[in-house]
A and B are shown apart, each in its own frame.
Chain A
Amino acid sequence: MNFSFETLLILAGILFAIGFLGLLVRRNLLFMLMSLEIMMNSAGLAFIAVGSVLSQPDGQVMFLFILSVAAAEVSVALALSILMFKHFKTVDTKALNSLK
């Protein structure tokens, strides 16, 4: 299927917006991490779109990098959320409101 460049970018943008709004709206830490994932994937989609338009493999390479970074980051984030659960007994970010 041949999608035009603009369509792909718009899709990436929409995905980014969905991820961003999810990040802002969600209170549960795990859902915030999922939203972050969506944002990173949308960034990767944008790279691939550009790579295919310019017929360069750099876009695909960038996507691989992003994926690996996302994986590493998620593992750290999950470790932190386990610690948070141990300490606060919840993963609700309301528990983090200690700066009054």
Chain B
Amino acid sequence: MLQFLWLVPALPFLGFIILAVFGKYLSKKMQAITGVGLVGLSSLLVIIIGTEFLKFPNNNFTQKLWTWFSISGFAPEIAFHLDSLSLVFIFVITFVGFLIHIYSAEYMFEEEGYARFFAYMNLFVGSMLVLVLADNLLLMYLGWEGVGLCSYLLIGFFYKNPENNYAARKAFIVTRIGDTALLIGLFILYSRFGTLNFSEILKIAPGTIIIGSALATTIALLFLGGAVGKSAQLPLQVWLPDAMAGPSPVSALIHAATMVTAGVYLIARAHVLFELSPFAQNVVAIIGALTLLLAGISALFQYDIKKVLAYSTISQIGYMFLALGMGAWSAGIFHFMIHAFFKALLFLAGGAVILSLHHEQDMFKMGGLHKKLPLIFWTFLIGSASLSALPLISAGFYSKDAILWYSFSAGNGNIWLWLAGLTGAFITSLYTFRMVFITFFGEEKTNVHYKPGILIALPLIVLAILTTIGGFIQLPENLGNIKLFSSFIENTLPHTILKNVENKEWIFQLFSAIIALSGVYIAYIIFLKKPIFIYNRENKVQKFFLYGWNFDKLYNKLFVQPFVWITKINRNDILDRIFDNFGLLFIRLSQFIGLTQNNRLNWFLTGLMAGLILVITLMLYL
């Protein structure tokens, strides 16, 4: 069955083509069936391929489709490579994607552009699959660009509102900066190794690059630049909160579960480069730590439910970066998988809340929903429990706790990083349950207009189940010692090297548990029992955090305004003048000649006679 690997990305692309070309001829039901069904087929195929692959998890499978082009020795191929890392990713992408497509069949039903939506979503799923299945960096870059394009198309889905277009452009331009860094990294890599194929680089690199050399650091930092752009980490995190202008399924799929994790995938795939440059790896960890704190604090001050989730995503990916920077590869990937489940769940449930309240997104205008929307409440609660990493019962605990443990005990581990992670966990718990309490408890401020149907409920239930049981495949040593996930991933990524400390993991787990629970309790006190924190939206300090530490303003002053100023003063430079006047010349000339077309008989005759004389003269003398 493995030879059908190429169908996994091909089916969503087929869905895109069908919906883009024939979409308007199909009925709405057929559009949904096509869009959802093809991704569903893809996910079924992944499950079949996965079960076959799991029998021999060490047997990596490469399927070469064709050579893309061949110019003077550079011949990248269209080839898909299946190993444990890409299997985890394609499982998440197709399965969570399938659930989100089912959800959007109901969610987007009333909107115009139904077929267009599914076309773009299918294109996105196809591109993301190409990204993770690619066996060389160039094909991966193709998928990278594809997901960037689809992100632009889907954020600006409601294109009639210019704010959405602005958000889409912002997302595209900011990630472009990262893409350029990645591209330069690819150039350097190719010029040095002559190949962009992952397996070849894996073999060649350790022998030919000295550890810590400038070459390794440069390439690794450029790759990090690309990852930072796509994954919305410091300093390129500004696009993700604005990207919430897109519909909720888009936020769930692209900006929670898949596209923003492309950076995590890149770093994991290129792990050999990061291992060769400890400096770059430390930078990864520091960026992760700083981002998770920055975003977490911003999330505490948001009032739009989707923006809380957006900052939360930035923060959680910070955890993944922290893990990767520690060399805790399997922990980072495990957190990616669990995060995909609970973040998608939270976005979908949040979207269901928004839909029920007729597109009201302000949390402070919601309330008392736990009685009115029980299913959404419980699934949202399960997702929030996982996000806050409530001990033992949620998958988030196992994944986040592993990261916190490794941030102290792994090779590059450091108590400051652990403290940052722990503080982040407290803040996470705080803002998550703030969101839960304000939205679902208290007095009801907006009436429920719409009770969600089965297509919305089913994905929520499935994701809630996955969020709960997903953690049990990787239990820490003192709590059951199940290493299913890490042993699977370690077929591809290196084993995490620990410093020489005794296994006092239980201390760290205790700390995490206490922190998480105290966050819940404090959120309960502050936001539900005795609201002592008055939200003043005009307060300068609160505005600072509300706007994500004013990064937008900073970038505006630093980059946008100088650039606009330069283009303004460059408007009438010498080249512009030449071209403008050239055109003006012809306009004036035609106006001049147009004066002869004054319709007077005499002029007409004159012209006639003049032409006649000219012709006769030419005939006589030439």
Q: Which residues of A contact B (CB under 8 A)?
A: 20, 23-27, 93-94, 96-100
The yes or no answer to B525 lying at the interface (CB within 8 A) is: no
The yes or no answer to B605 lying at the interface (CB within 8 A) is: yes
In the assembled complex, 5 residue pairs joining A and B whose CB atoms fall closer than 8 Å, in A order, are A23-B605, A24-B602, A24-B605, A93-B601, A96-B601
Chain B residues within an 8 Å CB radius of A20: 609
Interface residues of B in 579-622 (CB under 8 A from A): 598-602, 605-606, 609
Chain B residues within an 8 Å CB radius of A23: 605
Min CB distance A34 to B, Å, is: 15
A27:B599 contact, CB within 8 angstroms: no
Q: Assess A93 versus B599: contact at CB under 8 Å? Given A20-B609, A24-B609.
A: no
Q: Which residues of B contact A (CB under 8 A)?
A: 598-602, 605-606, 609
**Residue of B at shortest CB range from A26?**
B602
B606:A97 contact, CB within 8 angstroms: no
B609:A97 contact, CB within 8 angstroms: no
A25:B600 contact, CB within 8 angstroms: no
Min CB distance A82 to B, Å, is: 18
Main secondary structure of the interface of B (DSSP, over half): helix
**Residue of B at shortest CB range from A25?**
B602
Chain B residues within an 8 Å CB radius of A94: 600
Q: Assess A97 versus B600: contact at CB under 8 Å? Given A20-B609, A24-B609.
A: yes
6 nearest A-B pairs in the assembled complex, by CB-CB distance = A97-B599, A93-B601, A24-B606, A99-B599, A24-B602, A24-B605
Min CB distance A92 to B, Å, is: 10
A sample of 16 more A-B contacts (CB under 8 A), given A24-B602, A25-B602, is A20-B609, A23-B605, A24-B605, A26-B602, A27-B602, A93-B600, A93-B601, A93-B602, A94-B600, A97-B598, A97-B599, A97-B600, A97-B601, A98-B599, A99-B599, A100-B599
Chain A residues within an 8 Å CB radius of B600: 93-94, 97
Chain A residues within an 8 Å CB radius of B598: 97
**Residue of B at shortest CB range from A98?**
B599
**Residue of A at shortest CB range from B606?**
A24
Chain B residues within an 8 Å CB radius of A25: 602
Q: How far is the CA of A31 from the CA of B546 in the complex (A)?
A: 89
**Residue of A at shortest CB range from B600?**
A97
**Residue of B at shortest CB range from A94?**
B600
Q: How far is the CA of A100 from the CA of B600 in the complex (A)?
A: 10
Chain A residues within an 8 Å CB radius of B599: 97-100
Q: How far is the CA of A83 from the CA of B602 in the complex (A)?
A: 20
Chain B residues within an 8 Å CB radius of A24: 602, 605-606, 609
Chain B residues within an 8 Å CB radius of A27: 602
Q: How far is the CA of A76 from the CA of B602 in the complex (A)?
A: 21
Chain B residues within an 8 Å CB radius of A97: 598-601
Q: How far is the CA of A93 from the CA of B606 in the complex (A)?
A: 14
Q: How far is the CA of A98 from the CA of B600 in the complex (A)?
A: 9
Min CB distance B373 to A, Å, is: 71
Q: How far is the CA of A20 from the CA of B599 in the complex (A)?
A: 20
Chain B residues within an 8 Å CB radius of A98: 599
**Residue of B at shortest CB range from A99?**
B599
Q: How far is the CA of A98 from the CA of B599 in the complex (A)?
A: 8
Q: How far is the CA of A98 from the CA of B606 in the complex (A)?
A: 18
Chain A residues within an 8 Å CB radius of B602: 24-27, 93
Q: How far is the CA of A26 from the CA of B598 in the complex (A)?
A: 16
Min CB distance A93 to B, Å, is: 5
Q: How far is the CA of A23 from the CA of B606 in the complex (A)?
A: 9
Q: How far is the CA of A25 from the CA of B602 in the complex (A)?
A: 7
Min CB distance A80 to B, Å, is: 14
**Residue of A at shortest CB range from B608?**
A24
Q: How far is the CA of A43 from the CA of B266 in the complex (A)?
A: 95
Min CB distance B316 to A, Å, is: 72
Q: How far is the CA of A23 from the CA of B601 in the complex (A)?
A: 10
**Residue of A at shortest CB range from B598?**
A97
Chain B residues within an 8 Å CB radius of A26: 602
Q: How far is the CA of A25 from the CA of B600 in the complex (A)?
A: 11
Min CB distance A5 to B, Å, is: 20
Min CB distance A35 to B, Å, is: 11
Chain A residues within an 8 Å CB radius of B606: 24
**Residue of A at shortest CB range from B604?**
A99
Give the one of B600, B601, B606 with max A CB within 10 A. Answer: B601
Q: How far is the CA of A93 from the CA of B609 in the complex (A)?
A: 18
Min CB distance A46 to B, Å, is: 16
Chain A residues within an 8 Å CB radius of B601: 93, 96-97
Min CB distance A52 to B, Å, is: 25
Give the one of A24, A25, A93, A96 with max B CB within 10 A. Answer: A24
Min CB distance B92 to A, Å, is: 71
Q: How far is the CA of A97 from the CA of B600 in the complex (A)?
A: 6
Min CB distance B617 to A, Å, is: 15
Q: How far is the CA of A88 from the CA of B514 in the complex (A)?
A: 105
Chain A residues within an 8 Å CB radius of B609: 20, 24
Min CB distance B589 to A, Å, is: 21
Q: How far is the CA of A25 from the CA of B603 in the complex (A)?
A: 9
Chain B residues within an 8 Å CB radius of A100: 599
Chain B residues within an 8 Å CB radius of A99: 599
Min CB distance B603 to A, Å, is: 9
**Residue of A at shortest CB range from B602?**
A24
**Residue of A at shortest CB range from B605?**
A24
Min CB distance A1 to B, Å, is: 32
Q: How far is the CA of A20 from the CA of B605 in the complex (A)?
A: 10
Chain B residues within an 8 Å CB radius of A96: 601
Q: How far is the CA of A3 from the CA of B598 in the complex (A)?
A: 45
Min CB distance B311 to A, Å, is: 67
**Residue of B at shortest CB range from A97?**
B599
Q: How far is the CA of A100 from the CA of B605 in the complex (A)?
A: 16
Min CB distance A100 to B, Å, is: 6
Q: How far is the CA of A98 from the CA of B604 in the complex (A)?
A: 13
